Each structure stands twice: as C-alpha cells, then as structure tokens.
C-alpha cells in the first residue's frame, strides 16, 4: 500500500462513517472505483466497530512490569536476602530470586503487597497456616524457610522466603504442550504428586484453597512442587462469608485480575466455608484440563465461569480425548461432583485411585500380543509356580498394617534346559528386580535362603529347585513361591512360570511364552508374568496394583550378557567389594551402552571412593538415559545425578524422601539418605536413616557403612566397632570399616590394632589408602617428613588410570597440611602437583585453601572462581569450601573480622567440614584479641574428634586454645592446653615453623 | 537539579523553535529520568504500588522542568518527547520479556497468573509497535498521534498542540489509525 492510497481509503472511510450504517454499502459501491478499494474501506469500518476500547488506555500494566524489572538491579538487598531478579508479580505481591546471604543458598522471596497485609489478624492467620504448611516437610510441597517482616522507614513489608524451584509452572507446561494436552501418563504423574502433597497437608488440617496451574511448579527432573499453601487465606474475609463474596477475587488492583474463578469449587464460589474437598475439586479441574487441553467449566466472563461451576456438567472427556479411559472419566467425575458429600471424601482415596490407574497405564501401554499355543512344548516346569497376581493383590489389600516379614515370597532358581549358562542366575535376577520395584512386595532375601539350606543339611550353593523352595517356604512360613524354567525350541526359547501355594503345594497357575531369539528372552519373561496373572483370573484392577514394571528390559537392559555382568557387580557391591564391582559395572556398560542404571551405580561407587570427577561423568550419563528406565530406577538415577553431577544436596534429599515413601521396602534409599546427611554434618539423622536402611535390608553393605561412619563422627566409637563386627559376621566388609578401626586404634594409641588394619589392605587394589592413613597419622603428630614419605607412596600408588583423582586429593591434602604447618614452599609444590594430576572437585578446593593460607590470594581466588564456575549448584562447595577459602584469603590479608563474616554460610554444615571453619574462625578471633570466642571455636574441634579424627587441625586446636586462654589471662588453662599440644607433638619435627613458634611462646609464658 | 531543569526548558524551547538537534539532547535526559524514577519509586513504596504511565510522565516533567515553567507549549512539547521515550522503554522491555519466554530459558517462578498475563501482553505490545512502524510509512502523523495518545497519555487537545494541527485532525487521525491498527493486529494474529 502507498501513502496516497492509505489517504484515499481514509477519506472514504470517514465519509462513510458519517452516513447511517445502512447507507454505507451503497455509498461505497458508488464512490469506490474498484472492488479492492471498497473491500479495504469496508474492512476498516468493520475494524472500527470492533476497536471500541482498543488502545484507549495507556499500557499501565506493562509500565508496572517494567518498573518492577527496572528496580531489580543485582545488589538490591532486603533483610538478609540479596535480590537478583523478579520472577513474577501479581496481586499478592512480587516474587524475587534471591540469595540468602546468611546461608549462601538460592531462595525465592515473596514480598506481600501492602494492601494484602494491612489486616493484622489476617496476616497472623496466614503466618500460622504457612508455618503449619512449612512443617509438613513433604517432597511435593515447597519448603518455606522463613516468614518475616522487614521494617523500613516506609513501614513494614511481609515476606516469605521459600525454596527456589527451577522449572516451569503447570500453566506453562500446558501452554507448551501440543493442543495444550499433556500425555495421559504424565498428567497422571503430575496429578498423583499434587494429590500426595494435598493428602499430607489435609492430614495436618491444612487446606490449600487455591490449587491452580500457576501454583504447581514442575522441575526438570519431573518432581512436582505445590506452592503457596495458606496464601489464599490472606485474601479471605476474617469471618466465613455467607453472601456471594468470592474469596480470591477481593483486593485486586485496577488492571490486574487476581485469582481466577476457573479452579474454584462450587462451595468456594458460593462463599461458603471450605474444607479439604475443595482442593479435591480443584485438582479434578486440573486433571481434566491437562488431559483435554480445555477447561471443564468455561465462561468468558467471571460470572459466566462461576455459573458454569455451579450449574454445568463438564463435557465428556471423549470430546477432546480419543479413547478416553472410562476409569479416568470415573476419577475425574468423582472429584468434580458439585455436592461435596458425593465427591471423594479424602485426598488419600483420590490418591489411591490415581496411583492405581497410573500403574495400569504404565504397565498396559504396550498391548500384549496373543501367543501361539504350544501343544508339544518340551517344557519341564519346576514344581513350583507363580501366583503373582493373587499374591500381589493379597499384599496390596493387606498393606495396612504394613507388611511383615512373613508376607514374603520366595523365588526359586530357574531351571535352565538350554545349556547356555548365560541363563543361570540371570533370569531369576531379572524377575527379582521386577518384583523388588514393587512397593508392596518383599522377596525372601538370598542369604536367608542359604541359611535355611544349611539348616536343611544342604550345601549353601546348591540349586534351589522347586522342591527345595517348597520346603524353605514351609520352614519360614512363606505364603508362596515362584519358579520358572527355560528350554530350547529349535532356535526359539520357551519360558514357563508357575506360582504355587507355599503351604499346600497347590499350583495357583502357570504360563508359557515363546521367545524368538536370545535377545527376546527378557521381554518374554515379562510377558509371561503378566499373562499368567490374567490367566489366573485376576481382575484388571488388581494387576494394576502391583506397581511392578512389566517390561524388565526397561528396568535394566535387554542384553543378557550385560545383565549377567550387572548381577555379578551387584553381588560384589552389596557385600562391600566396591573396587571389585567397578570393572563389572563397566563391563555391563560395554555390553549395553544404554544401560542407564549401571552408569548411575558406577557414579556412586566412584563418588564414595574419592573420585568425584568420574562420579560426575557417570551420573550425567545415567541421567541422560533416564527416560528408558522404570520409575524406581528413575528416582535412583536422579538421586545420583544430584549427588555427584550437580551436588545439589537439598534436591537429592527430596528425591530420596520421595523414593523412600514410594518404595517403603527398598533399603538403598535410606542408605543414600544417611550418606547425604553425613555429607552435610547431620549425623544424628544419618544414624536414624542408616538404621532404617538396615531394617529394610540387612544385607546391603552401604547401609552398614553409612551407620558406621555416622556413629564414628558422633564420637560413638564403641558402637561403631560393634556395628562393624556385626556386619563382618554377615560377610559384609568395606575398606571404610578398616579406616574407622584404624582411627579408633590411633586415638587409643594402639599401634598393633593400627597395623592390623594396614595389613588387611595389603595386596588389595586400593592399597594406597593405607599409605594415606599413615601420612595422616604422622602429620597429626607433627612428623612432617614421615608424613611426606607416606603421602608420596600413596600418590605414586594411585597416580595412574582411574585413580588419578585420588592421588590429586592426597597431594592437595598434603598441601593444606604444609600450609598450616608453615612450610609454604612444600605446600605450593604439593598444590601444583595435585592440580597437575587432576583438576576438579578433589583437588581444586584443597589447593585453593592451601594457597590462600600461603598468602597466594590471586591464585587461590582464580581457583575458587574456576570451582564455582564448574559446579555452580554444589552445596558443599558453596557452603563449606568457598566460604573457607575466601575467609582464609582475608585472614592472610589481616582482615580477621571479614573472615569471620565470610565463614557465616559454613556454620550450618561445619560438622562435615573437617574442622576448617572452626579453626579459621578461632585464628581470626585470636587476631582480633577476642580470646573467649577463639577458645570456644577451638574447643568445638577438641570436643568432636570423630568428625575428622586424623585432621592436623586437631592438635593445632590445642595450640590455639592455649593462645586464647593466654589472651583472657587464664594461665592455668593456657598451660594445660599447651601441654596437650606438646604431648601430641612430642616426636614432631623440630624445624617446623609452627613448632618453632610454639616453643618460643612456651618459653615466654 | 537546577542546571538540568534549566537546560531541559531551554532545549524544549529550541526544539519548538524548530531546532531538530535539541530533540537528540532531550531524549536521553527524559529517558534517564524515567528510569531513575521507576527504580526510586519501586523501593519507596510498599510493594505492589506502581506509577501509571501518565503519572510517570507527569512526575518526570515536574522533576526535569519544574512547576515554575508556566508555558503550556513547553509542557506539551515535553510530553511529546516523553511519549516517545516511554514507547521505547516499554517496547524494549516487552521485547525482552517476550524473547525470554520464547528462548525457553526464562527462569520463571510465577506464583501468579499476572506474570503470565503480562507476558502475553508483552507480545501484544511488541506487535503494536511493529504495526505502528508500518503505519508511519503510510501516515507519519497518524503514527505520531497514536504514540502521543497511547504511550504519552495525551488528550486530543494536547496532541493537537504538540503536532500543531487542529483537534479535529487529531480526532480523525486517531479514529482511522485505531481502526487500521486493530485490523492489522487481528490479521497478524490469525496468520
């Protein structure tokens, strides 16, 4: 279009507008030369009629958004929060991404808008409820850290600091889905997690009141978080409304629609008092919207939407969802009953239905192809059989009260008629994994089987035939057993499963399937299990209750050889032979490069043996492949990802809590949780979880290791020893058991016992750790040369292949010792050596701290920068290492007060920090001549020896204590502490700078 | 702000006298003041209180020119500059916000529907700005009228003063521009 033409159109347009609408068409037909011109003018007139309010009001809302954004330069701080960016804004106030400078963690801070918080009583009620919600501590509920009020000259602002959840809201998820429809399985997963959150809240008497897609966050790892419990109460009138006042629609600002009636329950819309059933209704709407892509109660205006909620039935699912399952329809319509008495009465009921349906969907997504009936299959079925269906159903129905040991089922060995030894053990293991991932099933543990065999006068390694299995059942009062057989059929295989009553020996049913090739065997096995269950006449609903992934190749691998290597690896690592297990897992991965779980398990083995770099690498790999695995493994893999790849320990704890509640019989979850608590210095909780882990599975080495370590850190030395003795009796052993025993012997001054532990390691693949212990104990006694010798040996032994990181750690550990002893030259050399060997979590923080203590601020700083850049979310680095290194830099610069300030974030986790924050703080207080405070810090070290029994800082804490008491003029205490130091260092190298200084002080006093 | 208030008045005078270069000097002053005000306001007020577009410009005028300036003309000219500054500010902001959403890496923890609404709004505003640019090619004056009225919140008379045309002309321009923009935006929505 040209300007001339536009002007021409304008003239005609205005002329036409002056006419009565009825006359316009005739006018245009006459006045316009061509049809195109007439159309252009006509469409402009049409637009004019619709454009009514268009751009009549300035864009105030956008201006408000801009003002908020303009006001968010980094650096704005609020209470002890440093604001970074505005995350969202609405009628309730603003949400900012911030850092909690006290604790050094990211948080979301919600500032409540002034007009919301003017009603004092209302605020109090809200705070009460929010606090109650924060005490729920549920993995699907956002954690509230703090509720407070910041007072400024302009009055107070209420704020809530919560966990920062990175991800998208359910609203965004829906909006980005094709046709705004979320896949059924995912929608059910989300709904189930929301229901779990609500069930926990409702149990505690808390109603959310404002469940809507904006209040549901979805993290990358698919964990769902429900936000804003209790917040809706803020906008409610203090007394229950009896009129038609709409609770969440009050207190809006012009141009800002707060809340929406779309997710309200009918009782809410009527302004009646609400209860838990309101949340159920809202969740019903969410689920409906997720699967259909549309709102069940539509209306363009608020009053229409409300009318729809009160009056209309939602359109049938089938209108927008082809093949809508009737069960889904049933669940949704039961949640959406207008009369709350006809709705689900408890969220628990809804949750149960959702879970069951979800499992049905997950297991039933692949249609089971009917198998050929084999008339003359030369199959020999072990006399035992399988009644998965009945058993699983039985367990399910009886899970309240919780299952006891007697409800366990036994797996007999597979009868292998193929002559292919790969099937020995592998099929049983596959079936076991499938059954173990069911929350409600318990398998009779293998060691107990062997034990019973011993009682029966049989060799412990004898095959558990169906007959023997039957006897084991009777002896242990087991309800049922499952056995199977595999036999060749030409180039095919026939697999048979049978279930049998453990008491009567009566067959409960059997099933055969054929596998066309070796690679198809694992899949066929899964099908056999599910088909047998159908054949047994189990109703569909009881199959769905089993929660066991039916396709074992998803659970693990389709490669039999890989599976076999895996089985062997698991056996080794369960009994504590970690170093031996590593090559087996690697072999499993080589045989099946897509074996997600194997990567993740390798990451934990590396992580727990001092190789954080390799651990991160494998954790990433497993995480990338997590879409292929079962729900159980997905949680395990995610857990390892947070543990070793990102280091986000709070996320890890959440995942583990979810794992532990979803799979209440799995011991690995609590064991990992115990180790995580240990990492952040919460040893009491670590002990508790480790006990739980052992209760769930007594034959799992990591649980015993976690318990031993936590007890040791708590100074419970004899309990730790007893725990080790018990574990060893059960044929469980672990290098760390011997490390703990070595340290206890060292504390007791028992040289013989120390040597025993060193001898135990002799000839083992991880022999280098013995030299490391020796270098630690020599340094503890001030025998610096001896320490150097042992350390060099340890480094030489480890400095190759996949143990390089360990060598790097030893070298940098030495450099920290050199730095505190005053041997700066040596310290710098060791730091350089360590960084040359490997540059990562093992070496960077230690080298940085050593260099900081040597006064090399520039180098130390660039190393922390590197570290923080590599691991931006790592809890231990952010909360322990970085503060300690920065404090050390300032301390060396003479800024003791600032050093103390910088150590603040570390105080929360300092029990796990091997004395560094306490020591640095103690030295800083000495510099500031604050003797009492210095003494308190050094005393913390001396009182908690088990936290780091071989740390060189321990004897030096006595030296610091002597100086502290001297400062406050307490000569006798000072002398006592000095005496303790010289006793520990009686054989110390006399030319160590710190020793020379100590002696000079001694002579002065 | 004595010196700047003087110079802003002078610049306005020079600009209304036809000195085009004066505008180039005025713009950054107005732009900067609007930004400063936004920051200041945000943190002096209990949260949730924002200045509306017109109030922002009015406030900026008082700060930069002052109440001493009585001449109506100069006020109108200031508003003319400010409307343009406002348009740049808001569209830039909207573009950034919209782009953040598009990029998929916007870290949004939105607890409120409003955050979402304003993202949609951001897209709308960006589209409006694009359409205005197109309109400027067909009728520069109509495009100016929309800028002054919509982004500056100017009345018809004020707009007429700034553009030195009659109120009737402004009304006609506004009327056609509105219909045309509405048509453009709805068409672009459909395609």
DSSP B41-66: HHHHSPTT----HHHHHHHHHHHHT-
> Does residue A144 have a cis peptide bond before it, meaning omega lies within 30 degrees of 0?
no
Distance from the Cα of B183 to chain A's closest Cα (Å) equals 6
* Torsional sign, CA A915, A921, A922, A927: positive
Residue B14: count of CB within 10 angstroms of its CB:
16
Q: Which residues of A touch B178 (CB under 8 A)?
A: 48, 51, 54-55
b vs e for A394-417, b when ≥16 Cβ sit within 10 Å of the residue's Cβ?
A: bbbeeeeeebeeebbbbbbbbbbb
Buried b (16+ CB within 10 A) or exposed e, A14-51: eebbeeeeeebeebbeeebeeeebbebbbbbbebbeeb
Q: What is the pTM of this model?
A: 0.53
ipTM for the complex? Answer: 0.87
A684 is catalytic: no
Q: For residue A120, name the pLDDT band (cuts at 50, 70, 90).
A: low
Q: Which is more confidently placed, A707 or A312?
A: A707
**Hey, which of A554-558, A696-700, B32-36 has the most confident mean pLDDT?**
A696-700
CB contacts of A45 in chain B (<8 Å) are 179
Contacts of B39 in chain A (CB under 8 A): 70-71, 73
A863: pLDDT strictly greater than 90: yes
Q: Residues A300-315: what's their mean pLDDT?
A: 83
| Whether pLDDT at A383 is above 50 | no
- What pLDDT does A232 receive? 57
Asked whether residue A91 carries a pLDDT value surpassing 70, the answer given is no
State the catalytic residue, choosing from A210, A228, A766, A772: A210
> A257 and B113: CB-CB below 8 Å?
yes
Element of type H or E holding A792? helix A784-798
Q: Residue B85: its chain A contacts at CB < 8 A? A: none
State whether A48 and B122 contact (CB < 8 Å): no
Judged by average pLDDT, the poorest of A196-200, A743-747, A830-834, B99-103 is B99-103
Beta carbons of B181 and A113 less than 8 Å apart: no
- For position A903, what pLDDT does the model report? 94
Nearest-by-Cβ selection for A217 from B46, B86, B109: B109
Q: Kindly list the residues from chain B whose CB atom is less than 8 angstroms away from the CB atom of residue A47.
A: 179-180, 182-183, 186
Euclidean distance between CA atoms A201 and A51, whole angstroms: 48
Confidence of residue A658 (pLDDT cuts 50, 70, 90): confident
Phi (first) and psi of residue A665, to 5 degrees: -110, 0
Question: Please, which residues 65-84 of chain B have a Cβ atom closer than 8 Å to chain A?
Answer: none
Min distance B154 CA to chain A CA atoms (Å): 10
CA distance A155 to chain B (A): 8
Say which residue, A945 or A661, is predicted with more confidence.
Answer: A945
**Taking the CA atoms of chain A, what radius of gyration do you get in angstroms?**
34
How far is residue A646's CA from residue A648's CA, in Å, rounded to a whole number?
5
pLDDT value at position A921?
96
Q: How confident is the model at residue B75 (pLDDT cuts 50, 70, 90)?
A: confident
CB pair distance less than 8 Å for B146 and A55:
yes
Contact between chains at A68 and B42 (C-beta distance less than 8 A): yes
B97 touches chain A (CB under 8 A): yes
Range of A281-290, A494-503, A589-598 with top mean pLDDT:
A281-290
Q: Residue A373's pLDDT is what?
A: 31
Q: pLDDT confidence of A947, banded at 50, 70, 90?
A: very high
Q: Which residues have a Cβ under 8 Å from the Cβ of A864 and sit 6 or more positions away?
A: A844, A845, A848, A881, A882, A885, A886
Beta strands at A415-416 and A480-489: parallel, antiparallel or unpaired: parallel
Which chain B residues are within 8 Å of A95, Cβ to Cβ?
109-112
Q: What per-residue confidence (pLDDT) applies to B79?
A: 85
Q: Which of B35, B36, B39, B47 to probe the A interface (max A CBs under 10 A)?
A: B47
Candidate from A405-414, A563-572, A809-818 with smallest mean pLDDT: A405-414
SS3 A935: helix
C-alpha distances in Å from residue A622, one per residue of A556, A564, A597, A636: 12, 19, 6, 10
Could you identify the residue written with the tokens 């209309």?
A: A312
Q: Which helix (H) or strand (E) holds A219?
A: strand A216-219
- Cα–Cα nearest to A337, from A389, A415, A267, A238: A267
Tell me the two tokens of residue A78.
Answer: 């609020």
* Contact check, Cβ <8 Å, B35/A76: no
Residue from B37, B48, B170, B186 whose CB has the most chain A CBs within 10 Å, to mutate: B48
Q: Cα separation of A13 and A28, whole Å?
A: 9
B50: nearest CB among A64, A110, A111 = A64
Asked if A13 and B176 come within 8 Å (Cβ–Cβ), the reply is yes
Kindly report the number of other CB atoms within 10 A of residue B68's CB atom: 7
Chain A nearest-CA residue for B173: A10
Of A956-960, B3-7, B50-54, which range is least confident? B3-7
The reply to whether B60 touches chain A by the CB within 8 Å rule is no
Say what the pLDDT of residue A679 is. 94
pLDDT of residue A114: 53
User: b/e map of A233-252 (b: 16 or more CB within 10 Å)?
Assistant: bbbbeeeebeeeebbbbbbb
What is the rounded average pLDDT of the residues A316-334?
Answer: 88
B43 has a chain A CB within 8 A of its CB: yes
Residue A151: pLDDT band (50, 70, 90) is low
Q: Is A84 helix (H, G, I), strand (E, B) or coil?
A: strand
Looking at chain A, the whole-number percentage of residues with pLDDT higher than 70 is 83
B25 CB near a chain A CB, below 8 Å? no
Cβ pair A260:B113 closer than 8 A: yes
Q: Verify whether the Cβ–Cβ distance A256 to B114 is below 8 Å.
A: yes
On whether any CB of chain A is under 8 Å from the CB of B150, the answer is yes
- Mean pLDDT, residues A84-95 taken together: 66
% of chain A exceeding 90 in pLDDT: 41
* Mean pLDDT, residues B173-187 taken together: 90
């Amino acid at each position: 279009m040209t300007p001339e033409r536009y002007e021409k159109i304008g003239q005609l347009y205005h002329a036409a507008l002056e006419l009565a609408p009825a006359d316009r068409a005739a006018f245009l037909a006459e006045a316009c030369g061509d049809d195109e011109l007439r159309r252009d003018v006509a469409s402009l007139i049409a637009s004019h009629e619709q454009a009514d309010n268009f751009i009549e009001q300035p864009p105030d809302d956008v201006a408000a958004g801009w003002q908020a954004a303009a006001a968010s330069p980094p650096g704005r701080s609020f209470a002890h929060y440093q604001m970074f960016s505005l995350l969202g804004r609405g009628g309730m106030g603003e949400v900012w991404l911030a850092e909690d400078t006290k604790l050094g963690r990211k948080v979301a801070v919600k500032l409540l808008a002034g007009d919301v918080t003017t009603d004092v009583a209302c605020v109090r009620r809200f705070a009460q409820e929010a606090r109650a919600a924060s005490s729920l501590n549920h993995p699907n509920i956002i954690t509230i850290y703090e509720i407070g009020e910041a007072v400024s000259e302009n009055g107070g602002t209420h704020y809530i600091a919560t966990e920062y959840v990175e991800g998208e809201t359910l609203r965004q998820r829906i909006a980005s889905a094709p046709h705004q429809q979320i896949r059924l399985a995912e929608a059910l997963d989300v709904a189930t997690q929301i229901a779990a959150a609500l069930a926990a809240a409702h149990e505690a008497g808390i109603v959310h009141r404002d469940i809507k897609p904006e209040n549901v966050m979805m993290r990358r790892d698919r964990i769902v978080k429900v936000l804003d419990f209790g917040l809706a109460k803020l906008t409610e009138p203090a007394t229950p409304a009896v009129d038609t006042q709409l609770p969440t629609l009050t207190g809006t600002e012009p141009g800002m629609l707060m809340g929406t009636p779309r997710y309200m329950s009918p009782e809410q819309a009527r302004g009646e008092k609400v209860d838990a059933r309101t949340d159920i209704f809202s969740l019903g709407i969410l689920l409906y919207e997720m699967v259909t892509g549309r709102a069940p109660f539509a209306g363009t205006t608020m009053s229409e939407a409300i009318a729809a909620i009160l009056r209309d039935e939602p359109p049938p699912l089938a209108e927008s969802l082809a093949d809508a399952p009737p069960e889904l329809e049933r669940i949704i319509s039961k949640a959406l009953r207008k009369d709350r008495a006809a709705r689900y009465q408890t969220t628990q009921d809804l949750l149960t239905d959702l879970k069951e349906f979800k499992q049905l969907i997950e297991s039933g997504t692949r249609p089971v192809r009917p198998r050929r009936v084999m008339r003359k299959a030369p199959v020999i079925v072990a006399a035992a059989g399988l009644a998965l269906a009945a058993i699983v159903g039985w367990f399910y129905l009886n899970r309240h009260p919780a299952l006891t040991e007697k409800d366990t089922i036994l797996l007999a060995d597979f009868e292998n008629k193929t002559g292919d030894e790969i099937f020995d053990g592998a099929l049983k293991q596959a079936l076991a994994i499938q059954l173990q991932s069911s929350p409600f099933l318990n398998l009779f543990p293998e060691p107990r089987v062997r034990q019973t065999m011993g009682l029966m006068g049989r060799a412990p390694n004898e095959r558990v035939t169906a007959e023997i299995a039957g006897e084991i059942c009777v002896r242990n009062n087991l309800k049922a057993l499952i056995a199977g057989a595999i036999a060749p059929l030409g180039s095919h295989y026939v697999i048979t499963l049978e279930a049998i009553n453990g008491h009567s020996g009566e067959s409960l049913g059997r099933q055969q399937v054929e596998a066309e090739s070796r690679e198809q065997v694992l899949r066929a096995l899964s099908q056999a299990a599910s088909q047998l269950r159908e054949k047994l006449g189990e109703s569909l609903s009881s199959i769905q209750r089993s929660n066991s992934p039916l396709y074992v190749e998803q659970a693990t691998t389709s490669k039999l050889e890989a599976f076999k290597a895996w089985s062997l690896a698991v056996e080794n690592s369960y009994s504590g032979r970690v170093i031996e297990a590593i090559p087996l897992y690697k072999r499993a991965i080589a045989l099946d490069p897509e074996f997600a779980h194997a990567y993740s398990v390798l990451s934990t083995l590396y992580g727990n043996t001092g190789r954080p770099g390799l651990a991160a690498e494998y954790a990433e790999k497993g995480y990338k492949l997590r879409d292929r695995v079962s729900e159980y493994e997905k949680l395990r893999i995610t857990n390892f990802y947070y543990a070793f790849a990102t280091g986000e320990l709070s996320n890890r704890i959440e995942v583990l809590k979810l794992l532990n509640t979803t799979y209440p019989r799995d011991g690995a979850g609590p064991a990992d949780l115990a180790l995580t608590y240990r990492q952040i210095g919460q040893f009491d909780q670590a002990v508790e979880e480790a006990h739980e882990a052992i209760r769930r599975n007594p034959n799992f080495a990591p649980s015993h290791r976690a318990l031993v370590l936590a007890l040791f850190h708590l100074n419970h030395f004899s309990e730790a020893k007893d725990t080790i003795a018990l574990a060893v009796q059960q044929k469980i052993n672990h290098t760390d058991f011997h490390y703990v025993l070595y340290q206890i012997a060292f504390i007791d001054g028992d040289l013989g016992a120390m040597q025993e532990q060193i001898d135990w390691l002799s000839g083992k693949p991880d022999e280098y750790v013995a030299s490391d212990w020796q270098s630690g104990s020599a340094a503890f006694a001030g025998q610096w040369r001896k320490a150097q010798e042992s350390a060099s040996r340890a480094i030489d032994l480890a400095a190759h292949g996949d143990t390089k990181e360990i060598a790097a750690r030893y070298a940098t550990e030495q450099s920290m010792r050199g730095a505190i002893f005053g041997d700066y030259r040596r310290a710098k050399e060791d730091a350089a050596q360590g960084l040359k060997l490997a540059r990562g979590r093992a070496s960077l923080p230690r080298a940085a701290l050593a260099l900081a203590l040597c006064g090399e601020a520039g180098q130390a700083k660039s190393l922390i920068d590197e570290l923080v850049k590599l691991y931006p979310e790592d809890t231990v680095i952010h909360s322990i290492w970085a503060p300690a290194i920065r404090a050390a830099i300032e301390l060396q610069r003479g800024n003791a007060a600032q050093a103390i300030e910088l150590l603040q974030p570390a105080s929360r986790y300092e029990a796990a920090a091997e004395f560094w924050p306490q020591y640095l703080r103690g030295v800083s207080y000495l510099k500031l001549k604050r003797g009492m405070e210095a003494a308190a810090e050094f005393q913390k070290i001396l009182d908690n020896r088990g936290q780091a029994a071989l740390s060189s800082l321990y004897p030096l804490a006595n030296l610091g204590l002597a100086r502290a008491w001297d400062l406050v003029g307490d000569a006798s205490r000072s002398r006592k502490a000095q005496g303790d130091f010289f006793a520990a260092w009686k054989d110390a190298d006399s030319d160590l700078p710190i020793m020379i200084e100590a002696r000079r002080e001694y002579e002065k006093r | 702000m004595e010196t700047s208030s003087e110079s802003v008045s002078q610049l306005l005078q020079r600009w209304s006298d036809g000195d085009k270069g004066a505008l180039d000097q005025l713009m950054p002053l107005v732009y900067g003041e609007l930004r400063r005000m936004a920051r200041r306001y945000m943190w002096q007020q209990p949260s949730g209180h924002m200045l509306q577009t017109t109030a922002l410009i009015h406030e900026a005028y008082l700060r930069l020119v002052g109440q001493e300036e009585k001449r109506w003309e100069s006020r109108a000219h200031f508003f003319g500059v400010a409307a343009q500054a406002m348009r740049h500010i808001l569209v830039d902001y909207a573009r950034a916000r919209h782009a953040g959403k598009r990029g998929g890496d916007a870290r949004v923890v939105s607890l409120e529907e409003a955050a979402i609404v304003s993202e949609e709004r951001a897209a709308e505003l960006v589209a409006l700005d694009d359409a205005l640019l197109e309109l400027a090619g067909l009728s520069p004056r109509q495009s100016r009228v929309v800028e002054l009225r919509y982004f500056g919140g100017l009345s018809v008379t004020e707009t007429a003063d700034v553009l030195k045309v009659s109120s009737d002309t402004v009304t006609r321009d506004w009327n056609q521009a509105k219909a045309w923009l509405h048509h453009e935006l709805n068409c672009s929505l459909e395609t």
